[in-house]
């Protein structure tokens, strides 16, 4: 959508092993591919990523801990094959602010549930009119507030008509809430495995429209919420195991999307997703 997302394709490839080298390498607007080798310790502040950038981990255990990435007023960025963990608030593991054309693919996001719910910030948050984001084949695990799309009830003027996001084939495991929580935007959520969600999974609010199809929900307190918060949902083809769908969902208008896609049936999603999600499952770019 919107011309497509190729990240740094065609630009030079740089391999980094330190925080200072990473910060420097991902800055600037020219096309570039940044490979991270090993786990880089962050300093709690954002690592700001410039336009036309691919950030990719080498092997199964490369990424950042104790800090996170931000794309602010940017476009065309890919995050792939990264291990991202434990970023203390207020830094998210990935924050997309006023940015377009972002692909977050085959990463593992890990925190813990030992601290209070506000100790870490989001694993993948999007706000201030961000648009055209695909979140595919990631593991999101052991975290309180996973993915917030639309940061505030007061940003409708920036966010309405934007925040168009797709989540597919992700494994949400031992998360408290926000897989995702969506304000104002439009989300297509298909063939994900929601696996032990302690509070709520998809939370549609402030007029958000969601199409939720072919997902497996297992041991989820509230799989889809709308009525408490003024959002909408169309749900079809989902399998609910040890969980009960709210019978009073506010049914929305999002019944089709403007691109082609291949959903896997919900009955196969748990096994397909567990075999193929997260860092270490893809090689190269």
Ligand X SMILES: *[C@@H]1O[C@H](CO)[C@@H](O)[C@H](O)[C@H]1NC(C)=O
Active site residues: 178
CB nearer ligand X, residue 85 or residue 101? 101
Residue 242 engages ligand X in binding (rule: CB under 6 A): yes
- How far is CA 241 from each of CA 40, 216, 218, 221, rounded to the nearest angstrom? 38, 8, 5, 11
Q: How far is the CB of 230 from ligand X (least distance, A)?
A: 31
- Rounded to the nearest angstrom, the gap between the alpha carbon of residue 11 and the centroid of all alpha carbons in its chain is 25
Residue 20 engages ligand X in binding (rule: CB under 6 A): no
Q: How far is the CB of 6 from ligand X (least distance, A)?
A: 14
Residue 228 engages ligand X in binding (rule: CB under 6 A): no
Residue 29 engages ligand X in binding (rule: CB under 6 A): yes
Residue 2 engages ligand X in binding (rule: CB under 6 A): no
Looking at 71-79, 87-95, 114-122, 167-175, which segment touches ligand X (CB under 6 A)? Answer: 71-79
- How far is CA 78 from each of CA 26, 49, 187, 203, 207, rounded to the nearest angstrom? 11, 10, 19, 26, 29
Burial class for 174, CB neighbours closer than 10 Å (0-12, 13-18, 19+): middle
Q: Of residues 152, 155, 218, 274, which one binds ligand X by CB under 6 A?
A: 218
Strand-pair category, 171-177 with 193-205: parallel
- How far is CA 17 from each of CA 9, 43, 87, 275, rounded to the nearest angstrom? 21, 14, 18, 28
Q: Of residues 2, 219, 227, 268, which one binds ligand X by CB under 6 A?
A: 219
Binding site for ligand X (CB under 6 A): 29, 51, 73-75, 218-219, 241-242
């Amino acid at each position: 959508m919107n011309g497509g997302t190729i990240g740094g394709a065609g630009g030079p490839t740089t391999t980094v092993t330190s925080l200072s080298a990473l910060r420097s390498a991902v800055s600037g607007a020219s096309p570039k591919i940044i490979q991270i080798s090993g786990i880089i310790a962050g300093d709690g502040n954002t690592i700001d990523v410039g336009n036309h950038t691919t950030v990719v981990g080498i092997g199964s255990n490369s990424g950042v801990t104790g800090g996170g990435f931000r794309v602010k007023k940017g476009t065309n960025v890919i995050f792939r094959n990264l291990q991202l963990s434990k970023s203390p608030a207020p830094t998210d593991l990935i924050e997309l602010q006023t940015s377009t054309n972002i692909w977050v693919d085959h990463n593992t996001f890990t925190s813990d549930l030992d601290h209070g719910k506000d100790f870490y910030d989001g694993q993948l948050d999007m706000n201030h009119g961000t648009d055209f984001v695909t979140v595919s084949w990631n593991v999101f695990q052991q975290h309180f507030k996973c993915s917030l799309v639309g940061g505030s009830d007061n940003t409708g003027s920036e966010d309405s008509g934007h925040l168009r996001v797709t989540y597919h084939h992700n494994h949400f495991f031992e998360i408290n809430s926000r897989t995702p929580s969506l304000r104002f935007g439009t989300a297509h959520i298909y063939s994900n495995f929601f696996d032990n969600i302690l509070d709520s999974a998809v939370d549609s609010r402030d007029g958000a429209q969601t199409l939720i199809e072919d997902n497996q929900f297992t041991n989820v307190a509230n799989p889809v919420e709308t009525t408490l918060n003024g959002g909408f949902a169309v749900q079809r083809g989902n399998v609910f195991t040890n969980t009960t769908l709210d019978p009073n969902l506010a049914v929305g208008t999002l019944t089709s999307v403007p691109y082609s896609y291949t959903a896997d049936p919900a009955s196969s999603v748990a096994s397909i997703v567990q075999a193929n999600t997260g860092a270490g499952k893809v090689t190269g770019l």
